[in-house]
Chain A
C-alpha cells in the first residue's frame, strides 16, 4: 500500500468530514431539544449560502430575481461579512420556522413533523430554483485553496482550506460547549433537552428556548453551507447529498451528542473516500453505501450511537 497516497486521501477526506460534522451538529442541536429530525436542514442552509452569494455580488438583478433587487446592499460585501450576514439570516429563518411551523404542532404525531420538514425542504428548494435558477454558481473560496496553497506533510498535500474549515468548526464547537456548560441559557437548553415539562416547572420558557435552539442550528447549517459552497458549487440541490452524510454522521455519533456529531462526521468523511479507494467492489458511485450501512448498523446494535445518551422508554 502506498502510504503517501493513503495520507493524501485522508487529507482530502478531512475537508468533507468537517462539512458533514457541521451539518450533523445542526441536526443534533435540534434533535436534542425537540426530538425532531429536521429534513429541511440542508435546504435551509443552502438558502443562506445564496444570501451570502448575493451579498458578495452586490446589486446584480440577474442574481436577485428581479423583485428582490431593492433588498440588496449597494456594495459587494467582503467574504467574512457576507458569511456573518448569511448566518444571521439563517438564525432568523430557523427561529421563524420553529415559531410558525413547529411549535403549533407540539403534540402532533411524528409523521406530521416529518411532513412539515419535508414540506419546507421542497418549498425552499423550489424557491431557490425560482429566484436564482437551477444552474450552478461559482461561490468564492473562503480560504485559499488554489494550486500550491498547501502544506506538504510526508509528501502529502494538506490544503489551507481544509485547515481553515477545521479551525472554524473546532472554534464553533468550543463556543457551543461553553455556551451549553457555562451559561444560564445553556443550562436551560440542557434542561429542556431532558424534559420539557420539568424545565417548564423550574421557570424555563420552553418555547423560547427551542426557538433559540433552532436559530443556533440554522446558524451552524449556514456556516456549513458557506464553507462548502466553493468546493461543491452553489446550486439548489447542493446540500441534499451532504444531508444524507450528515444524517449518517449524526446517527453514528449519537443523535443527541455534539461530540458524536464531530466524530461521526470524521468517520463518515474518511470512509466515503477510503472505502471506494481500497474496496474494489464499491465504486465511487456507491460511496454513499458504506455511510448508510454504518448508520443502519449502529441503529440496530446501539441505537443511542457512539456517544449518545441511552434513554429508557417508559411503557
Chain B
C-alpha cells in the first residue's frame, strides 16, 4: 500500500485545516441546495433526507445492534398517519406533534420489540417483514375509528401546505415563488441534524456501548452484565421512534399519506439504502437515502434502443437496477459507499491519533518516505487535472444524453476534491523541503501544486459564493 499523501497529527493545525475544508463543503452543499435546484428537485432532496432518517433508524437496529429488523416502513407509516390525523382532525401544529410522534413510535416499538426480539436472525427478519406486509391493510380497519382517522383506502390529505411564516423568509431559497419546498427543506435539515447529533451521542453513551457489545458478541455482552432484553428493546424502540419521526417529516413534506405509500416495497427501499450507504455507519443513512432517491430518478429517464427492443426506464427497470446494486454491493462492497469513500480518504490522508499526553502515538516521520517522495509530483498532477476535468465537463454538459450528462457532472465535481488536496499536499511538501527532507527538484512541482490548488479552491469557493449571492 502506498503511503497516504498527507500525514497529520490529530487536532494539529493541518488536521483542522482539512476539517474546515470538509465542513465548508457540507455547509456549501446544504446552503446551495435550495437555491440552485428546481422546486421539484428540492422535493426529491427532501424525500432523500427523510429516507436518510428512516435508514438511520434501520441502521440503529441492523447495523449497530446486529438484529435483522427489516420492517421500518410500518413505523414510518404510523408516524405519518398520527401526524396527518392530528393536523387535519385536531388542528395541531407540527412542532407540537413531534413529541407525540416520538412517544407513540417509542411505545409501539416497545410493544413490537418485546416479543419480536425474543427471536433472532432470519426469524426476526420474517416477523418484521410480516409487520411491513400487514401495515397497509391495518389502516383500512373500520373498527375503533381507525379508517376514519387514516382515510382508509383513500388516504388522508392535509389541506394546508406548510409554507414559511414571514419571519423565516430570509432563509436561502425561501421566497414567494417556491417557498414551500425550500422552507420544508430547512425544517427537515434541522431535524436531520438534531437526529444525527442525538444518535451519535446515544451510541457513545453507556447504553450505546451495550448496544454495540450485543452486536459484536451477544453471549459475551450478557456475561458482562448487559441486560439483553432491555437494551435490545430500548434500542429497537428508539429506532422505531426515529422511524416515526421520518413519517412525520414525510407527511409534512407531501401533505398526503396513504397506506399504499408504506408497503413492503418501502421497507425494501430502506434495506437497499442501508446496504448502499453503509451498514453500521451513521453517515450511511444519508448517503443511502440520496442514492436511493436519485438513482430511482435517473433510471426513470433512461431510454436505450436495443435492436427491436427499447430499454425504457419508466417501467420496472429501477427495480432491476436496485436488485443488481444490492447483489453487487453485497459481493464487492459490503461496507457500502461510506466504506468505499473511506478507502479513498485513507489514500489521501492519514490522521495519527494522539496519546493521552497529546503526542502522536507514532512519529509522523514514520509515514514520510523522505527524499525519494513523489508526492509533490502527484499533487502537481492533481492541481492540473482539476481545471482540465472541469473544462472537459463543461464542454460535455451540452451533449444531450443522460449518461454523458452524469459523466460531465462527475468530471466537474472532480475539482472539489483535487484542488484542496493539491493545495494541502503542496504546502506540506514545501515545508518538508524547507526541513531538508526533499530534493530541490521537488520544490517546483510543490509550489505549482500549492498555487494552482489554492487558485482552484478559491475558484470553487468563489463560484459557490457567486451562486449564493446571485440566487439569494
Instruction: Name A's B-contacting residues (CB within 8 A).
Output: 35-37, 39, 65-67, 101, 104-105, 108, 110-112, 114-116, 118-127, 129-130, 134, 236, 244, 247-248, 251, 281, 283, 285-286, 288-289, 292, 295-296, 299-300, 303, 315
The reply to whether the CB of B125 lies closer than 8 angstroms to some CB of chain A is yes
Q: Cα distance A105–B332 when bound, in Å?
A: 11
Indicate if the CB atoms of B316 and A115 lie closer than 8 Å. no
**Chain A hits for B130, CB < 8 A:** 244, 247-248, 292, 295-296
CB pair A115 B126 closer than 8 Å: no
**A67/B141 in contact, CB under 8 A:** no
Expressed in whole angstroms, the Cα–Cα distance for A129 and B318 within the complex equals 11
Q: Given A244-B133, A288-B137, A299-B127, are A115 and B320 neighbors across the interface (CB < 8 Å)? A: no
Neighbour of B123 across the interface among A124, A248, A303, CB < 8 A = A303
CB–CB A123/B138 < 8 A: no
- B134 in contact with A114 (CB, 8 Å): no
Chain A's nearest CB lies how many Å from the CB of B196?
23
18 new A-B contacts, CB < 8 A, other than A122-B322, A122-B323, A286-B138, are A105-B331, A115-B327, A115-B329, A115-B330, A118-B326, A119-B325, A122-B268, A123-B323, A124-B323, A127-B320, A247-B126, A281-B143, A285-B140, A286-B141, A295-B126, A295-B130, A300-B119, A315-B219
Do the beta carbons of A112 and B268 come within 8 Å of each other?
A: no
**Distance in Å: Cβ of A118 to nearest Cβ of chain B:** 6
- From A35, A119, A134, contact of B323 by CB (8 A): A119
Contact yes or no, B309 A123, CB < 8 A? no
Within 8 A of A (CB), among B124-148: 125-127, 129-130, 133-134, 137-138, 140-143
**Alpha-carbon gap, A251 to B130, bound state (A):** 12
The distance from the CB of A303 to the nearest CB of chain B, in whole angstroms, is 6
Q: Is A299 a contact partner of B126 (Cβ separation < 8 A)?
A: yes
CA of A65 to CA of B326, assembled, Å: 26
Interface residue from A66, A134, A281 paired with B315 (Cβ < 8 Å): A134
Q: Are A37 and B134 in contact (CB-based, < 8 A)? A: no
> Nearest chain B CB to A176's CB is how many angstroms away?
23
8 Å CB interface, B321-350 against A? 322-327, 329-331, 334
6 tightest A-B contacts by CB? A123-B323, A122-B323, A129-B316, A119-B326, A126-B320, A126-B319
- Offer 22 A-B interface pairs, CB within 8 angstroms, sorted by A: A39-B129, A66-B307, A67-B306, A101-B327, A110-B68, A110-B125, A111-B62, A111-B279, A116-B330, A118-B323, A119-B323, A119-B325, A123-B324, A125-B316, A285-B140, A288-B133, A296-B116, A299-B123, A299-B127, A300-B115, A300-B118, A303-B119
Which residues of chain B are near A67, meaning CB under 8 Å?
306-309
| Residue on B nearest A247 in the bound complex, by CB | B126
A134 to chain B, nearest CB (A): 7
Which residues does chain B contribute within 8 Å of A108, judged by CB atoms?
Answer: 330, 334
Does the CB pair A66–B308 fall under 8 Å? yes
| Bound-state Cα–Cα, A118 to B127, Å | 16
Interface of B is mostly: helix
Measuring CB to CB, which residues of chain B are less than 8 angstroms from any residue of chain A? Answer: 62, 68, 70, 115-116, 118-119, 121-123, 125-127, 129-130, 133-134, 137-138, 140-143, 219, 268, 271, 275, 279, 306-309, 311, 315-320, 322-327, 329-331, 334
Q: Does the CB pair A118–B126 fall under 8 Å?
A: no
Of chain A, the residue at the smallest CB distance from B115 is: A300
In angstroms, Cα B334 to Cα A118, docked, is 15
Among residues of A, the one whose C-beta sits closest to the C-beta of B116 is A296
Chain A residues whose C-beta falls within 8 Å of the C-beta of B127 in the assembled complex: 295-296, 299
Tell me which residues across on chain B come within 8 A of A248, comparing CB atoms: 130
Q: Which chain B residue lies CB-closest to A120?
A: B323
Nearest B-chain residue to A284, judged by Cβ: B137
Name the A residues within 8 Å of B320 (CB-CB).
122-123, 126-127, 130
- Smallest Cβ-Cβ distance to A35: which chain B residue: B122
Q: Which residue of A lies closest to B127 (CB)?
A: A296
Chain B residues with Cβ under 8 A from A315's Cβ? Answer: 219
| Candidate in A39, A111, A130, A315 with the most chain B CB atoms within 10 angstroms | A111
A126 touches B323 (CB 8 A): yes
The answer to whether A289 and B134 have CB atoms under 8 Å apart is yes
**CB-based nearest A residue for B328:** A119
Complex-state Cα separation, A66 to B121, whole angstroms = 43
Give which listed residue, B122, B315, B319, B334, contacts A110 with CB less than 8 A. Answer: B122
> What residues of chain A lie closer than 8 Å to B268, measured between beta carbons?
118, 122
Question: B327 touches which one: A119, A129, A134, A285 (CB < 8 A)?
Answer: A119
Contact A299 B307 (CB under 8 A): no
B68 pairs with A111, CB closer than 8 A = yes
User: Distance (Å) between the CB of B208 and the closest chain A CB?
Assistant: 20
Q: Say how far A61's CB is from chain B's closest CB, in angstroms.
A: 8
On chain B, the residues within 8 Å of A124 by CB distance are 323
Residues of B within 8 A of A125 (CB): 316, 319, 323
A120 and B137 contact, CB distance less than 8 A: no
B137 and A286: CB pair below 8 A?
yes
Kindly list chain B residues whose C-beta atoms are within 8 Å of the C-beta of A292. 130, 133-134
What A residues does B330 contact at CB under 8 A?
A: 105, 108, 112, 115-116, 119
Q: How far is the CA of A23 from the CA of B129 in the complex (A)?
A: 18
Cβ–Cβ < 8 Å partners of B137 in chain A: 285-286, 288-289
- Chain B CB count within 10 A is highest, among A126, A134, A315, for A126
Give the docked Cα–Cα distance between A122 and B134 (Å). 20
**Chain A residues with Cβ under 8 A from B306's Cβ?**
67
Max count, chain B CB within 10 A of own CB: residue among A108, A283, A296: A296
A122 to B299: give the CA distance in the assembly, Å.
15
User: Are A114 and B308 neighbours in the complex by a CB distance under 8 Å?
Assistant: no
Chain A minimum-CB-distance residue to B124 = A299
What's the nearest-Cβ distance from chain A to residue B369, in Å?
Answer: 37
Instruction: Give bound CA distance, A122 to B130, whole Å.
Output: 18
Among B219, B306, B334, max chain A CB count under 10 A is at B334
A1 to chain B: closest CB distance in Å?
23
B137, chain A: closest CB distance, angstroms: 5
Q: How far is the CB of B102 from chain A (nearest CB, A)?
A: 25
Complex Cα distance A10/B317, Å?
Answer: 41
